[in-house]
Structure 1
Amino acid sequence: MSEKSEIQLESTTTSLQQNEKNAEPHTINVQENLETSELKKETNNVAAMRNFYVISFGYIFFTLTDSGLRMIVLLQLYDKHFNALQISIMFTLYEFFGVIINLTGGIMGSRLGIRVCLVSGLFVQVVGIAMLCGLKDKWSSWSSLTIIIYVTIAQGFSGIAKDLVKLGGKSVTKLVTKDDNLYQSALFKLVAWITGAKNSVKGAGFFWGALILLYAGYIPALLILLAMNLIIIPFALIYVDHDLAVSKSKKKLTFKEIFNKGRDVNILSFARMFLFGSRDLWFEVPLPLYLRGPVGWSYLGTGAFLAGWIIFYGVIQSTLFLKFITLETNFTLLIIILIIGLFIFAFIFAINSSIHSFLILAYCHKDKVAMNVGFYYMANAMGRLVGLIVGGVLYYYFELDACLWASVCALIFCTIVSCFLGPIPENQDEQAKP
């Protein structure tokens, strides 16, 4: 081999070695970037699930205190000889603020995040309970009208609190699911679990409220609930991300954008109004008063039945599976028929409610989930408000059977409206379309 060829070979070898050295840092950088990306992805997933656990359990724990408070107030008012119409009036502000807060709270969640809504709701609930504690020595000295106004305002604070907390509990399921086309199954399971668990705990809250009212008394029972709300606040402040559910869009909302959420969301919200109106026509005030009055059940008996009904309803929502229920045979035929009918209603109502809760999240875009869910639950609260008022009037003038017939009519309207719903979108781009 000539000297010239040897020089060329050495030059080529040196060049190849230099290229390998130059490529090695690039390979290391790519590998490091991949590892960093995976680490960030894993960290984000952990953070998302941490938010889900804290918000979900905070929402469920709050529900226990809120339903307990409802039972305490309702039974206390009945014992102070307020009638169904007066009691319904005292709960109207609770439901009315549900309408307002679900609308404005959705905007608040999109601008400030779920954590602000959750913590604000807990503080407002404390204010509402503290107001009710102020009635300790006023039952006999204040007029009925003054008590009605005072309790109505206190319940208004509780209504604000409930829907601020609910906004976070219902929205977080959407925020921790994947954006791909296969997310629906996981989303439905999360929605069914949190909705069913919340309603089962709500049922337990009815019994809990009746229990502590019976054995602890009015003021101690309220103080217990107040302390339970304060426990949740530090966990929400520490473990929930401050920017969770904050919308990336910075443009100002118009009146049209607030109320026009797209055809399917609007139709679903309208159906939801009739669905929950059909329940609260007889459940919120008429049924507890009927069990406590004409039937003559005790605090615990009334609380236990309402708890059992709600827990059954929650189990159906979370598992979609019906277990056999045994009924005692020492009631009159009328009461047996009523109980069986109410449990059948609970079964069907729970399935419909679970599907509704899934559909609202499937129809809305992640970037606007808090606002869309808020609008949807505004319709929910409107149905509850109308059901509460109409139910109280019907029970006062025509007894329980009129409430049940009105409920049937509301369910028929809900069914008709639901027939106009469109198919579930397969991706986030379709969800964003109006």
Structure 2
Amino acid sequence: MTPQIRQYLLVTGNYWAFTLTDGALRMLVVLHFHALGYSPLQIAMLFLFYELFGVITNLVGGWFAARVGLNHTMNIGLFLQIAALCMLLLPSAMLTVPWVMAAQALSGIAKDLNKMSAKSTIKLLVPKEAQGELYNWIALLTGSKNALKGVGFFLGGALLALFGFHYAVMGMALMLLLVWVVSLLMLKGDVGKAKNKPKFTEMFSKSPAVNTLSAARMCLFGARDVWFVVALPVYLAERLGWEPSQVGGFLALWVIGYGMVQALAPRLTGATSVAKEVGKVPDGRNAFAWAAGLTLVPVAIALGLDYPVQGKMMTGEIILLGGLILFGIVFAINSSLHSYLIVSYAKEDGVSLDVGFYYMANAMGRLLGTVLSGWVYQRYGLEACLWISACLIALAAVVSRQLPRHPRPI
């Protein structure tokens, strides 16, 4: 095992540990504050700074990582997540909305520093001509991360039921502290440094392909979060009467399955790990086709929920859960395609600049979706969230038509 691979495995291990706590914390916050009587919009506002600072972090963090190295940004992210967890250890009466929003801001910064660091590192380990192998590595990293995030959802619901909010957060903080100490001792700090120190103005991408893909990504993730982040778990609890452990368990299984599909995306889209020919890996044509197909899923769910039939509650539950599974499969392939394309498009020297800009757009989409999820659900219900989701996916498909395409064989 080469030193580069060992370093990458350490980075990936850090990313996995962080993702586990991130998923658990999100479920803990949603379920705990819903039980305290917070409205869907108030719960969405708790995550406002989480997403907002994710936007800022990705934009500035890519430039910062290119100057100091990706492993430094990884360690900073781990430390900030520990600090965010410690902020939530106050008694429930002292956990005011501004305080929780501030803790979520730190957590948002931490999460995006970790994700940018892990995904940028792959670009530096895979030979430029081995695009099929790069696609497989990206899909495996992205899929495993989301599978662990799903485990985190389940863990959050289970810890809340077994130990309560305070002790659940304390346990996660102690676990992540151990990971951080190991990371400080073993990770080297020179991976990902640009040869020429980039200027601050260079954090905005100058690549048309990166800019186009970033716009599509923003729409895609806004479409997911507009009904998944707040509206769906609150709907399951309020309208269907699910217990917190049931909500956390189901969403955990969904995200785990979603991650597994992401890891399998190269096979599902016809790419292989040994493919070196340009035509064997995805391009803009694939991104458009899969986004166009995804548009139909929220439309079908919304129509199904509106359709008057006998036993509407039971029928609506089947339509919602079945549609959610189908949405997860198709969305996972879309996400994996995008994750490969951004690393492929990014320039090698200072790779974190392009990757950071792209995930800034990703965070912008999540921010838009999170705010709309609480507000639209509270005012108009889940069906309205689904229609907005379909519109945003359709916009992502239109934008994706401008992405570069491989020449078709004659």
Shift in Å, 1:242: 0.8
Normalising by the residue count of structure 1, what TM-score does the alignment of the two structures yield? 0.81
Shift in Å, 1:239: 2.5
Helix, strand or coil for the counterpart of 1:217? helix
Partner in structure 1 of residue 331 of structure 2: 349
| Distance in 2 separating the partners of 1:419 and 1:203 | 32
Shift in Å, 1:186: 0.9
Partner in structure 1 of residue 167 of structure 2: 220
Runs of 5+ consecutive residues of structure 1 not aligned to the other structure: 1-44, 140-146, 323-330, 426-434
Partner in structure 1 of residue 233 of structure 2: 288
* Residue from 211, 235, 241 that aligns with 1:266: 211
| Distance in 1 separating the partners of 2:91 and 2:400 | 44
| Distance in 2 separating the partners of 1:251 and 1:81 | 48
| Distance in 2 separating the partners of 1:133 and 1:398 | 35
* Residue from 176, 179, 191 that aligns with 1:232: 179
1:264-320 deviation line (CA, Å, top 9, x unaligned): 000000000000000000111111111111111111100011111111111100013
Matched, 1:200 2:182: no
Normalising by the residue count of structure 2, what TM-score does the alignment of the two structures yield? 0.86
Q: Which amino acid aligns with 2:102?
A: I
Does structure 2 conserve the Cα–Cα contact (< 8 Å) formed by 1:206 and 1:303? Answer: yes
| Distance in 2 separating the partners of 1:167 and 1:81 | 35
What's the Cα RMSD here? 1.8
Shift in Å, 1:68: 0.1
Matched, 1:150 2:99: yes
Q: Which amino acid aligns with 1:276?
A: F
* Residue from 43, 53, 66 that aligns with 1:97: 53
Shift in Å, 1:57: 1.5
Matched, 1:185 2:132: yes
Aligned length: 364
Structure with the greater alpha carbon radius of gyration? 1
Helix, strand or coil for the counterpart of 2:134? helix
Matched, 1:171 2:120: yes
Does structure 2 conserve the Cα–Cα contact (< 8 Å) formed by 1:359 and 1:424? Answer: no
| Distance in 1 separating the partners of 2:392 and 2:54 | 20
| Distance in 2 separating the partners of 1:171 and 1:219 | 35
Matched, 1:77 2:33: yes
| Distance in 2 separating the partners of 1:131 and 1:57 | 25
Shift in Å, 1:240: 2.0
| Distance in 1 separating the partners of 2:349 and 2:135 | 19
| Distance in 2 separating the partners of 1:66 and 1:231 | 16
Q: Which amino acid aligns with 2:206?
A: K
Helix, strand or coil for the counterpart of 2:371? helix
Does structure 2 conserve the Cα–Cα contact (< 8 Å) formed by 1:124 and 1:160? Answer: yes
* Residue from 18, 31, 43 that aligns with 1:87: 43
* Residue from 97, 114, 118 that aligns with 2:70: 114
Partner in structure 2 of residue 299 of structure 1: 244
Shift in Å, 1:252: 2.6
Partner in structure 2 of residue 245 of structure 1: 192
Partner in structure 2 of residue 420 of structure 1: 402
| Distance in 2 separating the partners of 1:253 and 1:380 | 21
Helix, strand or coil for the counterpart of 2:350? helix
Does structure 1 conserve the Cα–Cα contact (< 8 Å) formed by 2:49 and 2:101? Answer: yes
Helix, strand or coil for the counterpart of 1:82? coil
Shift in Å, 1:218: 1.1
| Distance in 1 separating the partners of 2:84 and 2:146 | 22
Identity across the alignment (%): 42
